[in-house]
Amino acid sequence: MKKIFITFIIFTFTGLSQSNFDFEFDYAQFGYDSSSNFLELYYSFNQASLKVTTENAHTNLQGLLKIFIKNSETEDTVVFNQWKVQHEIDTSLESNQMLVGTLGFIIPKGNYHCQITGSDLTDISKSRVINEEIKIIPFLYHNLNVSDIQLASKMIQGSENKNSIFYKNSYEVIPIPNLVFGKLQPVLFFYIEIYNLQSELLKSSQIKMSQMLYNSRGKLVKEKHKYFLRNSDSRVEVGSQILTTYPTDAYTLVISLIDSAANIGVSTAKKFFVYNPDIAVEDSFEISTTSVLSSAFGSMSEEELDDLFDKSRYIASKNDMEKYVKLNTIDGKREFMYEFWKAKDENSSLPENEYFRQYLQRVALSNERFTSMGKPGWKTDRGRIYLLYGEPTEIERYPNQLETRPYEIWQYTEIEGGIYFVFGDLTGFSDYTLINSTKRGELRDDNWLRRITIR
């Protein structure tokens, strides 16, 4: 199978992490010829998930990308390769950036199993494997047709940069493999290609194009329509949607094309997720299965549910841990997670679970502030304390002492009459370890100073 291109570039946009190793994948198909489609694969590595290496005064991130595609019916392998992906970084910038890339392949008609793996090149045990079943039905034949919808974080119309890795048909289309929009990525862009507009089967001089947006409960929340002439056999359509006012939920964008005179129509759809913790739900129902929280869990994959529970382990009881481990169905895990967070909701009269929203916000802030040496911030000692107890009343930082290693003292004046935590950078790589606390149940070492004293 001919490889068309492979690229790797850095963009800054933030979404919800869905795995301990933050690697994401998406794809879209476009027309190629009457027997094949052009399959574009989009992938991203979170800079914070990759170990920083230094070579010849250059600071780099190095990932490993593996692609395996086989025909599900014939077992023939059409793609089996791996690539080293490397990018030089500016260490003065924030670490929570997404390194976005794209590959393209010509794939013949058929059903395929695609496995894509992203790993840290310096430690391949840090990886994520994503499996996808892909059906290739050629778009280019005798009747009206439309490509898959490609969702994007950014789009440049009329771009003159034809050498851009994301350039096509006068547009630069920057993919967003995690498909998460909302507060941190407020604008959704889409790109589609329309084919066979001059087919003899069509009768109307115009085609009606409809854009419809549905929430997870099947409610139509947005629609718009337009008409265009059939004066060429193919065309590109792009659009955008500002999502800052949409509540947290899974959504589906549906685009349909209709020739009413010939009674011919085609459609394509794409699912994505919106995370807007500050927006209340207007069309909530009394039954729990259709509340926004349940809907969010209802749209999660098993891997995403496992990852969320892993992040919730600091507030889970031993009984919770034992129950979850025994669950072997995705529906069971969805129901468990709904009940788990519902039990922690201090004000069930509100449409949103404030505790759940606050906890997710703390996870995101922990990753932003405390990620170190490839370890997500929520897994560090400072991240754990932050998730459990929130923002400290006061933080004393001692980064450059002559006789001690760097350390921090966090004070919480409203807990147990006043408590504190001491974290020390014992390794010198900004991975601060809890070395003392006055909180009941936490590590206590009154001789903690000796652990950070430089001898």
User: Which position has the higher pLDDT, 134 or 287?
Assistant: 134
Q: Residue 144: pLDDT above 70?
A: yes
Give the chain's domain count. Answer: 4
| CA–CA distance, 12 with 47 (Å, rounded to integer) | 10
Residues 175 and 246 in one domain: yes
Tell me, yes or no, whether 113 and 27 share the same domain: yes
On whether both 53 and 124 belong to a single domain, the answer is yes
159-193 per-residue burial string, b: 16 or more CB within 10 A, e: under 16: beeeebebebeebbbbbbbbbbbbbebeebbbbbb
Are 1 and 135 part of one and the same domain?
Answer: yes
- Judged against a pLDDT cut of 80, whether residue 121 lies above it is answered with yes
Instruction: Specify if 328 maps to a domain.
Output: yes
Residue 409 within any structural domain of the chain = yes
Return the bridge partners of 208, or none: 227, 258
**If pLDDT is split at 50, 70 and 90, which confidence band does 322 have?**
very high
Say if residue 269 is in the same domain as residue 298. no
Q: Note whether 17 and 98 are same-domain residues.
A: yes
Quick one: average pLDDT of 145-168? 92
Question: Does any domain span residue 363?
Answer: no
What single string gives the DSSP state of each residue in 83-100? EEEEEE--TTS-S--EEE
pLDDT greater than 90 at residue 218: no
Query: Could you tell me if residue 165 is inside a domain?
Result: no
Round to whole Å and give the CA distance between 297 and 248: 11
Is the pLDDT at 94 greater than 60, yes or no?
no
Section 199-221 average pLDDT = 89
Q: Are residues 212 and 288 in the same domain?
A: no
Task: Name the most confidently modeled range: 6-20, 202-216, 292-306, 330-344.
Answer: 202-216
Which residue's structure tokens are 């754990």?
384
Average pLDDT score over residue span 223-247: 94
251 and 308 share one domain: no
Q: Is 10 helix (H, G, I), strand (E, B) or coil?
A: strand
Mean pLDDT of 128-156: 93
Return the amino acid letter for 217.
R
Of 222, 251, 279, which residue constitutes the final position of a domain? 279
Determine the pLDDT at residue 342: 85
Which residues face 105 on adjacent strands? 3, 39
Residue 285 has pLDDT above 60, yes or no: no
Query: Which whole number is the average pLDDT over 106-127?
Result: 93
Query: What pLDDT, on the 0 to 100 scale, is given for residue 315?
Result: 95
Answer whether residue 365 is part of any domain: no
Q: Percent of the chain having pLDDT more than 70? A: 88
Q: Indicate whether 7 and 133 sit together in one domain.
A: yes
Res. 18: pLDDT tops 50: no
Distances in Å between the alpha carbon of 205 and those of 196, 199, 202, 255, 366? 13, 11, 8, 19, 56
Per the domain annotation, does 357 fall within a domain?
no
pLDDT bucket at 335, cuts 50 / 70 / 90 = confident
Q: What is the pTM of this model?
A: 0.60
The confidence band for 429, taking pLDDT boundaries of 50, 70 and 90, is confident
- 3-state SS class at 309: helix
- In this structure, is residue 223 part of a structural domain? yes
Expressed as residue numbers, the domain containing 422 is 374-455
